[in-house]
Amino acid sequence: MKQIVDSRQMKELDRYTIEEMGISSIVLMERAALAVVEELKNSFDLTRVLVVCGSGNNGGDGIAVARILHVQGYSVDIFLAGKKESFTEETGIQWKIAGNYGNSLVNNPVFSEYTTIVDAVFGIGLSREVTGTYEKLFENINKSNIPVLAVDIPSGIHGTTGQVMGTGIRAKATVTFAYGKTGLYLYPGALYAGKVLVKDIGICKKEKEALSVLEESEFLWLKKRNPDGNKGTFGKVLIVAGSENMCGAAYFAGKAALLTGAGMVRIFTVESNRIILQQLLPEALLTTYENSQSKSVIIEKLKKSREWADVEAVGPGLGNSVSVEWIMEELLETQEEETGQKPLVIDADGLNWLSLHRELLGKIKRPCILTPHMGEMTRLSGYSMKELKEDPLQYLKKFRRIFPSTVILKDARTLIGCSDNRYYLNLTGNSGMATAGSGDVLTGVAAGILAQGVLPEQAAPLAVWLHGKGGDEAKKKKGERSMIASDILEGLGEVLAQLENICEN
């Protein structure tokens, strides 16, 4: 597992390293410059290089980069976009050293004459809109179409939220230091950052509140399969899903739960879905009801299904009929007496129902995973789409302080806030997964993982990571435009097989 930090956290890490550990800021600056030079030599055409520098420490990094390239014999010019009188102490030192070494300076560069541009104007501390001469500078750099390497973060991008502060420089790659920064991974910042490379420069403190990012090693959160087990050993999932003409959602969730490793799946759905689900997914058990049946009949069937299950998932394609009202009341209002600590996943129409009964959110006592996309989150939380898009992590944290369930906030970059107060950012997946049925697959993956005994605070981020890996595998075969939810299911199975082989070997 790796970690990424926001601007405030990174500044504290810098301060601690300098003031508490005694590593001078100029030493850190030299290490940062060496890391940038390494990537420049690996991936960029250094026939003629322009380093564009600001007055702050990001500019100091850039000046050091230019001096190192100059000493190594490369053709490199420095363009000072900032003002000398605004230099930080460290940047002033780097400027003097560059002068001593005879670095070339330019005042009116023609960007198209260079083969590579190094962006070292603003760092992660930018907090105001980019206007005036800087705005024109960034626009001209972008128009030149010359490959850019950004130092720490593309100038104009907010280091925490990834928002474009008026305008920003579009980089081919970004070399960032010690930790990835949230603004490099959240959109739209991710579109400007290009390939992100995290380089160690000697920052030594761990940030307890950093965002976590899953890697292959976290697959081991899934317990090793018991060779002496049976279908009951690996968990029984009840999926309450599907209304008339909406059986696909139930199918995707049910199959995903089975593919992920659940031993048995029962789908609780309307009778009209029986035949097609038996054809599409004969491995699943079915319990059906008619919307015309009385409340007592439907609830009795549901109670028997709940007694059978180890995990419950509700919502995909469920609709909003009177029957759904009874079902949701049964699942949520009688949870403590009937289900003990059985985990519950709520998605789609389950979330829509919950948004109309928000008083129940704070009363959910058993382990629960909510899986809203941004639109569902606006209804569930009352926050606007603008607020969520501009700073999704902070609003997720705010929501969880009131309603402390585990929450998967689905978007191009999905954030997960867990019941142990750890937060995750998912970096797997692609735009091809923005397709009908994809969210239903995620619901099934989460339920399947829970059924195997994984706690919600691990099951939620692992489900999102695996779901994205399945989508990435599907992309290899179908591309992003042609991918459908069935391809994600197929990719999921292939990814799980690959990961099992890696862990066994």
Question: What pLDDT, in 10s, does the model give residues 417-429?
Answer: 998 899 999 999 9
Quick check: 336 pLDDT over 60? no
Using DSSP bridges, classify how beta strands 236-240 and 49-53 pair: parallel, antiparallel or unpaired: unpaired
**Residue 400 confidence (pLDDT):** 95
pTM as predicted: 0.94
Contacts of 492 (CB under 8 A, 6+ apart): 256, 259, 260, 441, 445, 466, 467, 469, 470, 473
pLDDT tens digits, one per residue of 14-35: 999 999 999 999 999 999 999 9
Read off the tokens for 314.
């509700």
Which of the following CATH numbers is that of domain 310-504: 3.40.1190.20, 3.40.50.2300, 3.40.50.300, 3.40.50.1000? 3.40.1190.20
**Residue 333 confidence (pLDDT):** 76
pLDDT tens digits, one per residue of 198-231: 999 999 777 778 899 999 999 999 988 888 888 8
What is the dihedral sign for C-alpha 162, 166, 172, 174?
negative
Spatial contact of 149 and 39, defined as CB atoms under 8 Å apart: yes
**Residue 209 confidence (pLDDT):** 82
Quick check: 405 pLDDT over 70? yes
Residue 59 gets the label, from left (phi > 0), alpha (psi -120 to 50) or beta, of: alpha
**Residue 207 confidence (pLDDT):** 78
What band does 505 get if pLDDT is binned at 50, 70 and 90? Answer: low
What band does 504 get if pLDDT is binned at 50, 70 and 90? Answer: low
Cα distance between residue 114 and residue 48, in whole Å: 5
Cβ neighbours around 282 below 10 Å, total: 8
How confident is the model over 369-383, as a mean pLDDT? 97
Cβ neighbours around 227 below 10 Å, total: 5
Q: Per-domain residue ranges for the chain?
A: 2-208, 310-504
Helix (H, G, I), strand (E, B) or coil at 108: coil
**Residue 339 confidence (pLDDT):** 47
Report the half-sphere exposure of 322 (CA within 13 A, side-chain side): 8
What band does 399 get if pLDDT is binned at 50, 70 and 90? Answer: very high
Quick check: 44 pLDDT over 80? yes
How confident is the model over 98-107, as a mean pLDDT? 97
pLDDT tens digits, one per residue of 63-73: 999 999 999 99
**Residue 340 confidence (pLDDT):** 58
Which of the following CATH numbers is that of domain 2-208: 3.50.50.60, 3.40.50.360, 3.40.50.10260, 3.40.50.300? 3.40.50.10260
